[in-house]
Structure 1
């Protein structure tokens, strides 16, 4: 997002999807949505018979929670909640216009709004969700059930041009559909959702409470898994079956088949029949059909034939638990997967994204197998037989409030007398400006940017030029400006939504970029939190008590977008940050044919930096470590999927010339923005705001490459606030040039973005000349 982004209605495609208008192709291409035409019925039958024994037709006890117990609690830095108190009474209570679907069990907890499975909670619940490398969606046409789609790299669709503006995976291809003979009409098929946390969802494709197909959704799951309860299995395919052949079984009780689809992709199917039951399968009329009802029978599919996968057959992940720690500049985190079923190796099959593989600890090496599958937007995924992902990253524990650079030899700020005089001259004007009225806007986003801008000026006055008079004036004015928000007297007051569990704007869905529908909360609230951290630090060091008086309000905002523990039942755990994807998702309660998306990777960084600084100021070391760990993870993920060095091998080679993603969806990358197509918008939405943490993510090499290939040719023609962003970004690779721009006689105030000050721009660039 940017300060110059105009207010605009959130576009609707008429079916509840949320998409930027007028950008070809549609997010759900019609041909791709419908998939290939069905093949004519295959004559005759091919039978796969097992020993027949009676099957029970009674659902297991507690059928709403079928798997082994799991916990969303985690050790170390995730082990405690920020608070378990009710949200402040200043936030009036409201129910959300988007209600939870029927047959959704929340367990009394707040419900995730920005997670990978969100489409199944929204609209008609038929839009896909991506677990990577698969997508799943409810099919209610002639193939009733849960559809599974796998899109290989060769199937990606690219725009014309070099580099192409976008590429996407054809959506809606039904590689397989987990269905049942018992489903005879679409109105018999519905979804039930249970065990909803930030790392998993259990989806029931229901005929009724006792007859359903359980599809556990966990990101990175190696098998597309379906467990049948009191139903007669039926597998169909929109692609069509070319051949189905039984092959040697991994062990007794598991049947193994190789299934070749009409597109010549070979899948392996494992069927685990519970002890005391039997099942015969027959291929008839392009469907694989069971001969009887089964209870607890596991069907697993993977588009690979590597025999090493046999060791994981019969076992699947049902949950994920996050744990982590930070020591010095090293962060470690583990996603431990709860398992159901059993396998020869005692583990399951998982696929890791490139940023996982690059940060895996040495213990993961022995678990790797020679299997790789493609994701659409996160590159090639690598197979592991494991029940944990164990990762280690470098974290910026050594980066605080002070300007920081990764330019060799320039990590520590140094100011000459000339630079200090220039900063003081700018601050003498900006520090006494009217922050109170400037922040009086109908937007948490815009208001937060203004508050953060003045907070960074306050930092400069306190720690760089050390002007007590300016510090006193700006501290008082900033307190007054923030008091409007803390007392909830801004134009669009915040409310606490009791339906989903979160603090939302009182504006409509088209105001403030959809804040009331949970869009962009980490962007919006991150600015407020970082402003509060700086104000609290300066005020405390000057003998004030602003922190103790206002900590709870700031904590409420942090809890909304980054609650670390499910003991806090008022907010979901990590609404925004996706610990598997390695970054946040900005899209809230809007269905989308291409899944969740994020545009401004740098404002995601700002939100994590805000957590780090707020944890530091308040003495919450766990929170500070969470911010550090998120930043360490994003250094890898953003430089894989959002920011492209010339040697990037993760994204398609033809796309790397764009240098940045633009908007990254789960099923698409589109080199554009939601608010315009000017090149400075697209590139710099991944730079704004430029703060002390920016260089940790945006390396000097990347910044120089982007400047040479994309920006140097357009900068002279940019005459608005994007000019200042372009030039402060230049300080990440060539600070002398950036400082000369902001201190030069030709500099104009119009070159400053609404969230940017000349004082901070001189301070940051001048620290490293």
Structure 2
């Protein structure tokens, strides 16, 4: 990431007793480089490798030398919504000498994974392709089966296109690069020996125009796809393609929203596939440019703190800083420890913003005392270590306990934990430049764990490319090397935003313009994705009406599921759902919650839950903070009644937030942030 030269740093190497062996599924040539741990195809390389993954628009499952494809139906109720897998089409070799051999991942990229069923089948699984593309590498008899009954089977005269109608109402089309002889029975199609390209696509609509579109673009197929960071706040998708003609892909709703009007693509507005993420729309073109709204990374509040509030904030600040000495950190958890570090760093920036610098030395000492042991390995019962098998930082506690540090040792939540530490490091380096220079190598090593841009095969990087960030969905995943039937998941989008925001702050303090640019872009995209898929507005049509009616914010968002429940709380604890998608309270929070009308809906939906017995004071604080966006005085009075705060929050921080709100609002109920336009 960083283009400046300085002494590289690697945390001490360790051997984990809980991590899976990557050699079971990755091709040997990939094992010498860091490997992905939160990717869209992660299930393919965990345990038996036979749990499905959602590679839009299909759910894909590989097992026993076959690959099954599902165009999933959607189940929804007020609590959750998910896509149902069924083996609509299963492809295998009918004369495979090793019927129980597992698949091999032979290559992967940001937007694609190549899965081999040896010895002869290679699948180019490219995200957003309406076709499943299979290369038959040597003469092989194919078996194409289904759990449904085949009602009709119609070849064209050239025997290069076959229309397959099933008794569940689906129609699939099979294309071949050269003539192929196929015979069928009730639920299976068998071929003579064939070598070449097979493409299979569902016909999502009985409209004949859909079939003509699939016919037209069937001869051009993508074999890989990657994302390129070129211009500020832009990412470009580039596909490597073969065959001839133009390339047809599908875009999710956020892609359509961000697609640059000037890029050379054609959007097929009427060519759509269903998806849990919203309708997927056809786009023709070899590359797309996505342009996000620019986000200014600021240390302090965006519009400033009201002067008359300074005395109140100073009183709270003095008390909170004094409490740093009296409340020693007892936790050894990398997550909770990081939150406490970041909480103290917030106090320093608030003190700086309101010009009350008397408390800065005490905060600086506290930050040094808490951060340094994690960077120099003297913390004792925990600390950061380097895992060579996958290529990344794990903790002592996580190296022999898969549940330790919330699964940090199996690559769960890396951006959450490290993001809090980066925030503290950035602030400490800002107020103590000598300290910042001394610990810069360790700081960059932590940041690189989830912010590395290079690919391991093309550099000497010790970390995989963008460990947590999904460059097709444009948000992060948090769940690491754990097999889940519904794929990767993420609970707290706000902590993901914090991770990239904190990396950008670190870039600011070290004068690293490249880091600032990339981290700002990722921050912006994470915010866009949060507002698209996590924030559920009353008039949204993205999700089913019954789910939308009962939910204003997501609990856990999975690749293949939307859940109202949290990992740590039931769905009816709405204050927890709100809070886990607000914390930590920062200047960037205003951008994340820039839609004031949505904030009003979210708070009104949450407030009744605060009447439940046992509601935590810390969670109330985040509800009141959002209420303060549109009901400032009412929220302030409620904040003054709090008797405790979230372990990453303080009264000082809540007062800073309330007194830095602004009444600027456009006709659509949206804040004008950054002072140059209403978003």
- Alignment TM-score, normalising by the size of structure 2: 0.90
2:305 to 389, 414, 417: 414
Would you say 1:157 and 2:69 are equivalent positions? no
Corresponding residue for 2:578? 683
TM-superposed CA distance for 1:722, in Å, is 1.0
2:364 to 475, 479, 483: 475
2:538 touches 2:548 (CA, 8 Å); kept in 1? yes
Would you say 1:202 and 2:102 are equivalent positions? no
Corresponding residue for 1:546? 435
TM-superposed CA distance for 1:386, in Å, is 2.1
Corresponding residue for 2:147? 238
Q: Which moved more, 1:693-702 or 1:351-360?
A: 693-702
Give the whole-Å Cα distance in 2 for the aligned partners of 1:266 and 1:122.
Answer: 32
Aligned residues: 641
TM-superposed CA distance for 1:371, in Å, is 1.4
1:110 to 34, 42, 47: 34
TM-superposed CA distance for 1:102, in Å, is 2.9
1:101 touches 1:122 (CA, 8 Å); kept in 2? no
Would you say 1:663 and 2:534 are equivalent positions? no
Distance 1:470 1:700, change over 3 A: same
- Alignment TM-score, normalising by the size of structure 1: 0.79
Would you say 1:268 and 2:173 are equivalent positions? yes
Q: How does 1:294-333 map to 2 (within 5 A)?
A: 294-304=194-204, 305-327=210-232, 331-333=233-235
Corresponding residue for 1:182? 95
Would you say 1:337 and 2:337 are equivalent positions? no
2:63 touches 2:102 (CA, 8 Å); kept in 1? no
1:741 to 638, 641, 646: 638
1:357 to 247, 250, 256: 256
2:445 to 547, 556, 564: 556
TM-superposed CA distance for 1:430, in Å, is 1.1
TM-superposed CA distance for 1:503, in Å, is 0.1
Distance 1:713 1:501, change over 3 A: closer
Q: Which moved more, 1:379-388 or 1:112-121?
A: 379-388
Q: How does 1:616-635 map to 2 (within 5 A)?
A: 616-635=508-527
1:715 touches 1:723 (CA, 8 Å); kept in 2? no
2:114 touches 2:125 (CA, 8 Å); kept in 1? yes
2:301 to 403, 418, 421: 403
Would you say 1:220 and 2:142 are equivalent positions? no
2:258 touches 2:291 (CA, 8 Å); kept in 1? yes
Q: How does 1:355-394 map to 2 (within 5 A)?
A: 355-362=254-261, 363=263, 366-368=266-268, 370-376=270-276, 378-394=277-293
1:289 to 187, 190, 201: 190
Distance 1:81 1:104, change over 3 A: farther
1:700 touches 1:733 (CA, 8 Å); kept in 2? yes
Give the whole-Å Cα distance in 2 for the aligned partners of 1:92 and 1:124.
Answer: 26
Give structure 2 stretches of 5+ with no counterpart. 205-209, 663-679
Give the whole-Å Cα distance in 2 for the aligned partners of 1:218 and 1:308.
Answer: 19
2:42 touches 2:481 (CA, 8 Å); kept in 1? yes
2:248 touches 2:283 (CA, 8 Å); kept in 1? yes
1:100 touches 1:499 (CA, 8 Å); kept in 2? yes
TM-superposed CA distance for 1:369, in Å, is 5.6
Corresponding residue for 1:728? 625
Distance 1:82 1:503, change over 3 A: farther
Distance 1:82 1:95, change over 3 A: farther
Query: Which string of whole-angstrom CA distances, capped at 9 and with x for unpartnered residues, describes residues 649-701 of structure 1?
Result: 22222222301121111111110100111221123211111211012122222
Query: Which string of whole-angstrom CA distances, capped at 9 and with x for unpartnered residues, describes residues 267-307 of structure 1?
Result: 2211113xxxx531112352211111x33333332334431
Q: How does 1:64-103 map to 2 (within 5 A)?
A: 87-90=9-12, 92=14, 97-102=19-24
Query: Which string of whole-angstrom CA distances, capped at 9 and with x for unpartnered residues, describes residues 113-147 of structure 1?
Result: 1001000110011001111111111133xxx5100
Higher share of residues assigned helix? 2
Give the whole-Å Cα distance in 2 for the aligned partners of 1:591 and 1:387.
Answer: 33
Give the whole-Å Cα distance in 2 for the aligned partners of 1:589 and 1:354.
Answer: 28
1:166 touches 1:669 (CA, 8 Å); kept in 2? yes
Distance 1:512 1:233, change over 3 A: same
TM-superposed CA distance for 1:538, in Å, is 2.2
Instruction: Say which SS state the counterpart of residue 258 (structure 2) adopts.
Output: coil
Give structure 1 stretches of 5+ with no counterpart. 1-77, 405-411
2:93 touches 2:141 (CA, 8 Å); kept in 1? yes
Distance 1:733 1:244, change over 3 A: farther
